[in-house]
Structure 1
């Protein structure tokens, strides 16, 4: 933007003009900022939009709209690529505060100051376009999910490279004699159509298949992944779908269920092999069984084994039981379950089994001995009962994700990092932040899974896809289920979560569409998610960089590598624009063109801080745009109220908040600072994975900074906000304001 020409537009509609003085707001713009300002009672209407469009045509190249929340009317306030800054007068001021009161007017005026200051410090980003973007989708895994993903991508018009480590396609699904029903009437097992799918994929002109092959190395970024295969070939691909499937839990660990004690105790996978061969017999003596017992949750939902539910086991046991009855109508079949999970249309499948005389026992199997006596703690009878004269026991074994190549050598975490760290820099040394020494950097806490990496990523943060505690790849499971913490790499099927073939087909389609989306957005220089369409990228002033490596360590997505000289190097299309690197940098040398430390600091300082004699405290709220900000919007929509002493500055993520901003805010007279971020934990809701955790860790160091300023540590707090917590937010805010009232005014006021 060569010459900034900013137009400010105030909306008086939706009750705004009835609650605050529009003349007062206009005066802030024209007198304090010397900007042109226009007021209209419906800016989102045709007439209001026409006014803005005419000004843009006449040379306005930056628009500030102070009206409703920036989360609404986004399609209307777009003007041929002109940068638009939004100020939230409606939801977070007039709808949530008493009309025509001095505090409400002051809040609205400060809201205008914050928005106009943001505009003055923001530069519209330009797309960073790379040439020769690859349009190829790499699919890793040739099972049902991988084959479906490859076929979907090819049918959409994209070339596919399918890599399968086995000498044949099909994966675990090829072992299945039949499959659980996926079409009406959902009552009986369906034929396994894997052979047809393999034939379709193998003959497709857009699909190249590599069998007995693995991925040796993966480097680069979306649109430009360089993939080296174990056969020595190399190819550039645009995006990657990991569909490596699952493996059965090690039944050898279930000796209390008789596995390994009697040959007639087998897993559901082993039973499937017998069903496919067409001959089910006792392995001990070859006779046809008369009594068969299925034991559900064999290893699943057990804190000593797999604490999660493997999802499909109940339906698989019902399928196998029906197949056994079809082959031998006289066989007696028991299914012992703790909770039977057949949701949705699978309930019809369950009813079929009941009608066929399958006996369902609710209880927990305590023990199975060598004579195949099954001791059941019956939940209905509330006593232990033995099942005797049993010929076969089938353990409904749990599903373990193939998020690593378990057959290859396991590398220790230190080994994986050794080749990535430069010896001339002490990676563990403490650094100075806000005038205090932080603790030494430690390696990321993510648990590295057993086994070798599937993709062997040549990333600064190691070769694995980050995984959760039980091996499933880490993603925002609510909003972005297919994403991993490595941009452009998507997971589908049982490697993502336990699921059956029907769900896997849907999962494969979803992940493929995301992969195609990644290819297309990378070619245009756009962020994919969660800041969809964002053109900004971090830029680093290497002249000020201290090579501390905090940005490369803290980036949740491994977007920053290091040069041979030890400087950070941003991989553009890996970046999700969260700003965590900006918050990590102790010398404030990392910024975005439209989001900088200086911009946030200036927005904070733009607020009018009353003298302490006026008894009007000012509280800074640094609010995450993803959950906390919309939660505050919902407070206004519900016409609830929160303290008018709060001044809201939205941030991309709490991970982007540099500690120095807090000391800056307190030094200009804010009485307190509250950080509002997303909820962490196993079911975290942070759109950038670990922003709240990072902020909490940084915040633990603030006490010394406040002590050096002779300020109370209670002046800074952090709260975790779900979007569903809006009803409780006013109380949270009021409680903090009351705490500050007890402490008293900030002694820095007026300096």
Structure 2
């Protein structure tokens, strides 16, 4: 494309009072641009008409808007990405609102942002979306509550669905239940199980093909073109996206030695209790007699650092429900619940009160030990400490029910059997659940196009599992539609770029295949990367990892950011105006910097911020470019990482920090101090810390003195 760049500068929102717009226009005209215009309100009717007229007439095909943050007014400043390049230069939040009005350094900052913005536009080309023949069929693995609801919602939206269940019948664990907790006002009476209605709806829907007694033997390919090999003679199916709703399994109670499961037959689990109630009568397994005293022990494995560190969400409500079973069988029966904390969210608090009124006794304790009662061959005893009364408790029971915790069914069982270089299973969080992101992205996994729903994602009730299935179905639909248009899915939804590799220069170092958090690359026997573009989330981590710099995007590349750095006007050392480059994550650090401006906080005017897709995309050559240019310091702002991470691309920020530890070699080669680089983890709500960080860094650079490469 023969670029015709139009530069449009807004003077509203205090920009005109802080920055000399005419001088800024002069800087723009130093470049080969088609035109440069200013307006007091570019987002207004007149300003927008000005831009659109130039685009529609063909006078301009690349638009640079120097105004407010690119995170706002995205609906206003919107052009066809297939025909028009758009770049936003933030001179409001990042200059006018955070620097003294009319100051020389404020003007220099705005002018550098203009140079960087136009340079970026010059290095950008129109996208050529990766579009292959794709399929929009959705595969749902798991025929329980969440899986069936996912299948129904996708089918009702007009999509073909393949529903795979390993058991002979649909229904999942709910089909083994006797009753459900209260589902409607006044939330005091147990509800009947209605799973058969859902099963009937699934079987009656012509858009759903049901495969029972079937498992997935192999999944290869990528979103829009998965090849799924099913067992039971079902063969290979072409699939667009996948919902994994494989459910949960109870924690192994035999690991809880102090609770004596397996040692005494009358110590059972809540799962066994439910099956017993469904079969018609609650009895003691040791002799078939009816129990007159039943004890429930909560958090059997859950909320225990030696077993399951998390709360399993439903155990308290299940025990309340089962306590009612015991009372319904004989209202004279005694029921005692030993609990750490009773958790009955929403209207289930009303059910909790009802159970209390029915005579169930509750003992708050963090410990419970089970043994055979003294002088008895069968009767059980429980020893505990009542934390509310601060005194020991000992009681005898005929039957003890352990509220065992929930674990994802994929634990120790890949289920999907992916043919990915990174392995057959979904990567999981620290608790074993195959989610993608601790904070932001429900249903997402770290394999693009595969979404989780229900208790395989996290412990939840049956009602919430059904809602979860609907949510995952919507994500699966979004995926097949976006992929069919060559667009990225969340978090860079709609991005038409994808990584292009100059494979002739590849050295088979395998860093791109090893560091991609989403498994975008397979590799051949020599280690040459085999990209699957529809798996890509467009984070650019592979670009940052490649020592040969052979990976680039049409609108994001090593050359582009390097050229932006080189476009900065660096004063000589005698001007005593240091320059600092800030490479900042667009997901957390950039909006945090916007918040600095919105709150009118000020920081040293020496910094020039460049947003990057992920700090993991930072290539070390940019550091060398900046220092060789004479830049005095480099600050990197990335997302928080660790167990409770916030990095949108899982490990990008952590990778960047690891790579920066290796930058000392570059600094040694340039005979520069390592203190010229600073890495910080910044969450969105850390905006108040940014001015202090930058002031401290500026003071450190003053102590170090100017970069000796200035002027070269």
| TM class, shorter-length | over 0.9
Figure out how many residues of one structure are paired with residues of the other and give that number: 702
- What secondary structure is seen at the aligned counterpart in 2 of 1:384? strand
Give the superposition deviation at 1:700. Answer: 1.4
Contact 1:258 1:370 in 2 (8 A): no
Contact 1:122 1:595 in 2 (8 A): yes
Aligned residue number for residue 380 of structure 1? 388
The partner residue of 2:242 within 235, 240, 243 is 240
Give the superposition deviation at 1:150. Answer: 1.2
Contact 1:144 1:173 in 2 (8 A): yes
Q: Any residues of structure 2 matched to 1:584-733 within 5 Å, and which?
A: 584-733=545-694
1:260 aligned onto 2:262: yes
- What secondary structure is seen at the aligned counterpart in 2 of 1:226? strand
Give the Cα separation in 2 of the matches to 1:745 and 1:649: 21
Aligned residue number for residue 9 of structure 1? 8
- What secondary structure is seen at the aligned counterpart in 1 of 2:637? strand
When structure 1 is superposed on structure 2, of 740-749 and 241-250 the one drifting more is 740-749
Aligned residue number for residue 109 of structure 1? 111
Aligned residue number for residue 309 of structure 2? 307
Q: Any residues of structure 2 matched to 1:121-132 within 5 Å, and which?
A: 121-131=123-133
Deviations 1:600-646 (A, max 9, x none): 00111111111111111111100100000000001111111122111
Aligned residue number for residue 340 of structure 1? 342
Give the superposition deviation at 1:181. Answer: 2.6
1:72 aligned onto 2:72: yes
Give the superposition deviation at 1:581. Answer: 0.8
1:399 aligned onto 2:406: yes
Give the superposition deviation at 1:205. Answer: 1.4
The partner residue of 1:473 within 434, 442, 456 is 434
Give the Cα separation in 1 of the matches to 2:396 and 2:387: 22
Q: Any residues of structure 2 matched to 1:522-533 within 5 Å, and which?
A: 522-533=483-494
Give the superposition deviation at 1:490. Answer: 0.3
When structure 1 is superposed on structure 2, of 537-546 and 730-739 the one drifting more is 730-739
Give the Cα separation in 1 of the matches to 2:470 and 2:576: 59
Contact 1:365 1:374 in 2 (8 A): no
Aligned residue number for residue 432 of structure 1? none
Give the Cα separation in 1 of the matches to 2:337 and 2:702: 63
The partner residue of 1:88 within 87, 90, 93 is 90
Aligned residue number for residue 201 of structure 1? 202
Aligned residue number for residue 417 of structure 2? 456
Give the Cα separation in 2 of the matches to 1:98 and 1:189: 66
Give the superposition deviation at 1:360. Answer: 1.6
Give the superposition deviation at 1:353. Answer: 1.5
Give the Cα separation in 1 of the matches to 2:444 and 2:396: 50
Contact 1:113 1:606 in 2 (8 A): yes
- What secondary structure is seen at the aligned counterpart in 2 of 1:241? strand
Give the superposition deviation at 1:468. Answer: 2.0
**CA 1:33–1:672 in 2, change beyond 3 Å: closer, same or farther?**
farther
Contact 1:295 1:365 in 2 (8 A): no
Give the superposition deviation at 1:111. Answer: 1.0
Give the Cα separation in 2 of the matches to 1:349 and 1:695: 51
Aligned residue number for residue 30 of structure 1? 29
Say what the alpha-carbon RMSD is for the aligned residues. Answer: 1.3
Give the Cα separation in 1 of the matches to 2:564 and 2:181: 58
- What secondary structure is seen at the aligned counterpart in 2 of 1:168? coil
- What secondary structure is seen at the aligned counterpart in 2 of 1:483? coil
When structure 1 is superposed on structure 2, of 493-502 and 317-326 the one drifting more is 317-326
Give the superposition deviation at 1:307. Answer: 0.9
Contact 1:29 1:35 in 2 (8 A): no
The partner residue of 2:396 within 386, 389, 401 is 389
Aligned residue number for residue 167 of structure 2? 166
Give the Cα separation in 2 of the matches to 1:614 and 1:393: 80
Give the Cα separation in 2 of the matches to 1:85 and 1:139: 40
Contact 1:299 1:305 in 2 (8 A): yes
Relative to the length of structure 2, the TM-score reads: 0.97
Aligned residue number for residue 62 of structure 2? 62
Give the Cα separation in 2 of the matches to 1:168 and 1:79: 51
Give the superposition deviation at 1:73. Answer: 0.5
Give the Cα separation in 2 of the matches to 1:98 and 1:670: 23
Give the superposition deviation at 1:569. Answer: 2.3
- What secondary structure is seen at the aligned counterpart in 2 of 1:240? strand
Contact 2:4 2:33 in 1 (8 A): no
Give the superposition deviation at 1:138. Answer: 0.4
- What secondary structure is seen at the aligned counterpart in 1 of 2:577? coil
- What secondary structure is seen at the aligned counterpart in 1 of 2:29? helix
Aligned residue number for residue 138 of structure 1? 139
Give the superposition deviation at 1:709. Answer: 1.3
Contact 1:561 1:569 in 2 (8 A): yes
Aligned residue number for residue 376 of structure 2? none
- What secondary structure is seen at the aligned counterpart in 1 of 2:354? helix
- What secondary structure is seen at the aligned counterpart in 2 of 1:396? strand
Deviations 1:579-602 (A, max 9, x none): 011101101110001101000001
When structure 1 is superposed on structure 2, of 498-507 and 333-342 the one drifting more is 333-342
Give the superposition deviation at 1:565. Answer: 5.7
Give the superposition deviation at 1:340. Answer: 1.3
Contact 2:253 2:261 in 1 (8 A): yes
Deviations 1:294-352 (A, max 9, x none): 11100001111111111110111111112221222111111111111112222222122
1:283 aligned onto 2:285: yes
Aligned residue number for residue 213 of structure 2? 212
Contact 2:254 2:260 in 1 (8 A): no
Contact 2:637 2:682 in 1 (8 A): yes
Contact 1:8 1:37 in 2 (8 A): yes
Aligned residue number for residue 276 of structure 2? 274
Q: Any residues of structure 2 matched to 1:575-590 within 5 Å, and which?
A: 575-590=536-551
Contact 2:5 2:33 in 1 (8 A): no
Aligned residue number for residue 367 of structure 2? 365
Q: Any residues of structure 2 matched to 1:553-592 within 5 Å, and which?
A: 553-563=514-524, 566-592=527-553
Give the superposition deviation at 1:481. Answer: 1.0
User: Unmatched 5+ residue regions in structure 2?
Assistant: 374-379
Give the Cα separation in 1 of the matches to 2:638 and 2:460: 32
Give the superposition deviation at 1:35. Answer: 5.1
User: Unmatched 5+ residue regions in structure 1?
Assistant: 405-449
Contact 1:261 1:370 in 2 (8 A): no
1:120 aligned onto 2:108: no
Q: Any residues of structure 2 matched to 1:424-463 within 5 Å, and which?
A: 450-451=412-413, 453-463=414-424
Give the Cα separation in 1 of the matches to 2:108 and 2:438: 41
Contact 2:131 2:485 in 1 (8 A): yes
1:53 aligned onto 2:52: yes
Contact 2:382 2:396 in 1 (8 A): no
Give the Cα separation in 2 of the matches to 1:78 and 1:705: 41
**CA 1:34–1:244 in 2, change beyond 3 Å: closer, same or farther?**
closer
